[in-house]
Amino acid sequence: FRLQLACAKTGGGQAIVCMGQHPSSQNSRTCSGCRFEGDAQRNKVVVDAASLRLQVALAALEQCSETQTSQTSASCSAPLGSTALQSIAISEIGAHEVICSWLYTGKAICFHLSVIQIAKDREVLFLEWPGDSVATCLLHSLERMQMYRVMIQAETSRGWLSTAKLSEPFTTLAEAPGSVRGLCSSDSSAQTLLPWDGDLALSWEPPEDDGGAEIEHYVAQLKPSNSKRQQEAMSCVVSAPSCSCTFRRVWPNEDVCISVYACNASELMSPAALLELHTAVGKPSCPGEVCAQLQGEESLGTFCVHVHWIVPENDGGQPLEHYLVYSTVARGAANETSVAETRDIISEDSWFLVAQIPEFRSNIDTIGSRRRSCAVEMPLNRAYRFCVAAHNGDHQGPFSKASAVVRVPAKIPEAPEAPAVNTTEAEAVLIEWPKLCDDGGLPLEGLLV
């Protein structure tokens, strides 16, 4: 090798490294040009030439004048034992550091290690390591998801450097991404007075740091604080770049904890972003299987309708307080006797409240039944259908399905009071009685005196 230097008085300048003949020769080939900062007290300059690290013995630079150009030729023959440096092994590759190990069969006072970033073709780290025959070194301060090579040279006791040995290229790993930002919900505890519909909508922003790999998806988890509901936790996966999701049928009036994780292309998951809130009270669900049956004795003229139903599956997050029983007249079925024949021709008119029944939750556990009932008196000689709605103190739930038609028949009219007899003429008697109070459900057709 030949080194041509243009030096300033301070020791700085430009260096051109040539292979083959003297730089003035026509056969010389320039393989690298670089700028260096010299030191008047040093007699060595390191030049990076085509990924090859050269250390050249130079004359002292303090004798160079400010305007003088030095043409210095320094012959650098290869040192003995230049092939003694064996293969380089890279292990335990992380995001910012790796372990480098090598074997040297000769004698060296130290090793020169250079870490080269391949994409930018530049040296990012240089170390001098003691000259052990078997050496292991931690290389740090690397950039994640970048490709590197390690170049090692052995320095002998004579100050010569061995032929450089290059490792196989390796790529540093990605890291776990940062936590998502701005996690919030549009359904918090400070909701309006309207009942909650059970949908919990979440939104967030991507993390500032993706860990060196693109964010692929997010994982959202919702867990109730109630230990009895821990097995009912919900989760959903949202593909990037979307940053929102909605949980359906979330428990009302419940303390919940929400966790959102970001996952990048390296399958690394971020720390959880947490949100705790209290869901609002919702509507109870509708009662099930409402049935209506006529009870009483026609001979005695006493009738009532027995209505029973099944307790709703969902109380809306708050214990039920009472049930509302509604009824409507089933038109077209007033004179029918068979429920099966009239069920398909019924059309409901307006519904009206006929009873409000308190809920006693202790009955569920003591008698093991989820069925509730009540008895209501209805006007005679009409057909009815019934439905039930539950109320939890804050909101009334939807109506149940209507029951089958039940017909309340007419009964025997009420007996008149004792008549009053007035004799005003010899040929006639005037009989008077008060107006009847109850006609039994049908208009009176006549009186038998």
Model confidence pLDDT, tens digit, residues 392-420: 988 888 899 999 999 888 777 777 888 88
Question: Which residues neighbour 255 within 8 Å (Cβ) at sequence distance 6 or greater?
Answer: 224, 225, 226, 276, 277, 278
Of 405, 232, 399, the residue nearest 309 (C-alpha): 399
At 60, the pLDDT band (50, 70, 90 cuts) reads very low
Structure-model confidence comparison of residues 158 and 34, the more confident one = 158
Structure-model confidence comparison of residues 134 and 276, the more confident one = 276
Q: Is the pLDDT of residue 167 over 50?
A: yes
Cβ contact 332:346 at 8 Å: yes
Of 326, 307, 328, the residue nearest 387 (C-alpha): 326
Q: Is the pLDDT of residue 298 over 90?
A: no
Q: Which of 87-91, 347-351, 385-389 has the lowest mean pLDDT?
A: 347-351
Half-sphere exposure of 436 (CA within 13 A, CB side): 15
Q: Could you give the CA distance from residue 206 to residue 177 in angstroms, rounded to a whole number? A: 10
- The angle formed by the CA atoms of residues 17, 20 and 23, to the nearest 5 degrees, is 55
One-letter-per-residue 3-state SS of 310-336: ECCCCCCCCCCCEEEEEEEEECCCCCC
Q: Could you give the CA distance from residue 4 to residue 69 in angstroms, rounded to a whole number? A: 10
Type of residue numbered 415: A
Structural tokens at position 420 = 């009053």
Instruction: Summarize the confidence of residues 222-235 as an average pLDDT.
Output: 78
* pLDDT per residue as tens digits for the range 75-121: 344 444 445 777 889 999 999 999 999 888 878 888 899 999 999 88
DSSP 231: G
Q: Could you give the CA distance from residue 77 to residue 104 in angstroms, rounded to a whole number? A: 20
Cα distance between the two ends of the chain = 147
- The angle formed by the CA atoms of residues 252, 255 and 260, to the nearest 5 degrees, is 105
Q: Which of 261-270, 356-365, 383-392 has the lowest mean pLDDT?
A: 356-365
One-letter-per-residue 3-state SS of 11-36: CCEEEEEEECCCCCCCCCEEEEEEEE
Of 173, 179, 178, 151, the residue nearest 163 (C-alpha): 151
Is 339 strand, coil or helix? helix
At 70, the pLDDT band (50, 70, 90 cuts) reads very low
Instruction: Summarize the confidence of residues 34-52 as an average pLDDT.
Output: 43
At 227, the pLDDT band (50, 70, 90 cuts) reads low
Q: How many C-beta neighbours within 10 Å does residue 430 have?
A: 11
Q: Could you give the CA distance from residue 387 to residue 404 in angstroms, rounded to a whole number? A: 10
At 134, the pLDDT band (50, 70, 90 cuts) reads confident
Of 6, 3, 55, 72, the residue nearest 32 (C-alpha): 3
At 238, the pLDDT band (50, 70, 90 cuts) reads very high
Structural tokens at position 351 = 């519904």
Q: Which of 69-83, 190-204, 433-447 has the lowest mean pLDDT?
A: 69-83
Of 111, 100, 90, the residue nearest 138 (C-alpha): 100
Structural tokens at position 151 = 């170049």
Q: Could you give the CA distance from residue 217 to residue 195 in angstroms, rounded to a whole number? A: 33
DSSP 364: H
Question: Which residues neighbour 410 within 8 Å (Cβ) at sequence distance 6 or greater?
Answer: 380, 381, 440, 441, 442
At 54, the pLDDT band (50, 70, 90 cuts) reads very low
